[in-house]
Amino acid sequence: MASGFFALLDDIATLMDDVAAMSKITAKKTAGILGDDLAVNAEKASGFMSDREIPVLWAISKGSMVNKLIILPVAFLLSAFLPSAIIVALILGGLYLAYEGAEKIYEIFVPHHAESHEKLNANMTEADILALEKERVKSAIVTDFILSVEIIIIALGSVASEPLSIQIPVVSLIALIATVGVYGIVALIVRMDEFGLRLINLNEQNNSFSDYMGRFLVNALPWVIKSLSVIGTIALLLVAGGIFAHNIHFFHDLLPQLPSIVKEFLVGLGVGFVVLLAVKLVMTIVSLFRKKK
């Protein structure tokens, strides 16, 4: 009886070691998309009234957790009964990530009409502000759903050859990190300016150390968000290129003389612009067709 109990403990310890090892590998493979997730959500969670930033972020975080609870069971069922669908979903996700990264670069260099987003202003009533807040939270949760699908599929793809006893805890852990970790960091980022103002008002002295630090944090917030956006774009292309290089023989054998990180970036960028061109072409055709009607 005792020997059976200790054997069970040994099996559990071995399983936990395997889960920890695979979680480290999977975390590295999903780091890029987590970086973009961080950049996107930091941008979406900023711009609210100071006292509404945390409630808004909490609402988005709860929506993100619900997204994971919807996506995870579907992903595990596909892995168990139709594993080939994971590879297909992985490549489709790579196409989307490459397209998104290429589109961000395209928008920097090519003039375009930016979408108009309604902003907070002094003439808004409390009901108007809450309605706008609700709309932006909903938009953030929809974006999170798309990114969550990518994170979970990439995580699942990295442990596709492992049994479900490894897949479930590893992918669930990555999904938890994607919510708690990302939104925890986002909360720190969007409150940088508020903390900076507290440091400035910490004492009545002018040009004290706390004043310098406070002004630095206030002025650094826009640059931090912009930097995250750039890093996130590069990460998107690297993740997409890595998906193609590891799952499509043509890209795997392409440019073998280059370092893998350079090859993956170039592959992601190239595929991204091909998809972007195809999307623009389809949109142009649809637009012309509508005008003829």
The per-residue pLDDT of the chain, averaged, comes to 75
Q: 124 — phi, psi (to 5°)?
A: -75, 140
**In Å, how far from its chain's centre is CA 83?**
24
Sequence length of the chain is 293
For residue 234, tell me if it sits in a domain.
Answer: yes
Whether residue 276 has pLDDT greater than 90: yes
50 SS3 class: helix
Q: Are 246 and 94 in contact (CB under 8 A)?
A: no
For residue 158, tell me if it sits in a domain.
Answer: no
Q: Report which DSSP code applies to 162.
A: S
For residue 157, tell me if it sits in a domain.
Answer: no
Residue 77 amino acid letter: L
Q: Which pLDDT score is estimated for 3?
A: 47
Burial profile 126-143: b = 16 or more Cβ within 10 angstroms, e = fewer = eeeeeebbeebbeebbeb
Cα gap 288→210, rounded to integer Å:
59
Whether residue 13 has pLDDT greater than 60: no
Burial profile 1-24: b = 16 or more Cβ within 10 angstroms, e = fewer = eeeeeeeeeeeeeeeeebbeebbe
Q: Which pLDDT score is estimated for 152?
A: 83
For residue 236, tell me if it sits in a domain.
Answer: yes
For residue 264, tell me if it sits in a domain.
Answer: yes
192 SS3 class: helix
Which residues form the domain of 115?
2-152+166-292
For residue 160, tell me if it sits in a domain.
Answer: no
Give the range among 21-25, 47-51, 121-125 with minimum mean pLDDT. Answer: 21-25
For residue 79, tell me if it sits in a domain.
Answer: yes
Give me 257's structure tokens.
């003389």
pTM for the whole thing?
Answer: 0.68
For residue 159, tell me if it sits in a domain.
Answer: no
Whether residue 19 has pLDDT greater than 50: no
Give me 171's structure tokens.
């992918």
- Indicate the number of domains in the chain: 1
Q: Are 35 and 101 in contact (CB under 8 A)?
A: no
